[in-house]
Amino acid sequence: MIIPCIDLMDRKVVQLVQGREKRLELPDPFMVLEKFAAYPQIQVIDLDAAITGNERSNADIVRDLCARKPCRVGGGIRTVERALQVVNDGAHKVIVGSSAFTPQGINHEFLQSLAAAVPRAKIMIAVDSLGGRVAIHGWRTVLLLDASEALPQLEPYCSEFLCTYIDAEGKLEGTDLAWFRKLRAATSLPITAAGGITTDEEIAALDALGMHAALGMAIYRKVFPEPFREA
């Protein structure tokens, strides 16, 4: 399954290169959603909540997107209460990232509390990798934990993983299929792959591994070519 990504910043849809350099900006999230009408699910990431902790700036947009389409929602999910709020606002699934980890490894205490409050079927955990190791806090902090070692430890707390290969994120230069094969061997849970996925061949290879593909820059380049020509 291909899952388009809608990343929100300052109430607009953006695409960033490796979470930093803005490459595309579109003013109307609902117009973008209409363009993705053929896809069964959407991934919505509130970058303002993730970067600044401001959970309110895009909350109404996220809620309205969830009302129109099944959405996997992430970005700044730091507390059990926030996760519950996102689910109550209609999210198909809630994506927990940095809060699933501590500087020493897995944040079992938080995840146990989360699993006690939110159905496991509603929880996705984002395991993002830079140089093979888990990266958190907007990909600015890299842990000693290997991504493939993290997955089995996280299985009891979620129903699916979102795994981003940060090294290639937003570059439109392709992804690392060998890395995703390593992750596939580490867990039996569903995995949504992200980060640098560019070609139909890569999407087909991921599908053959039983993985979904979350597409950002690659799908925007096809659906909204004009901003790329202007940049």
Indicate the SS3 state at residue 57: coil
Strand partners, 214: 3
d(CA 228, CA 231): 5
Closest Cα to residue 98, out of 7, 152, 162, 155? 162
d(CA 86, CA 55): 10
Among candidate residues 46, 89, 128, 167, the one labeled active-site is 128
- 113 burial level (CB within 10 Å; 0-12, 13-18, 19+): middle
d(CA 101, CA 82): 17
d(CA 93, CA 169): 22
Known active-site residue 89: no
Among candidate residues 7, 46, 48, 89, the one labeled active-site is 7
d(CA 77, CA 110): 11
Helix H or strand E segment including 191: strand 191-194
191, amino acid identity: I
Known active-site residue 64: no
Active site positions, annotated: 7, 128
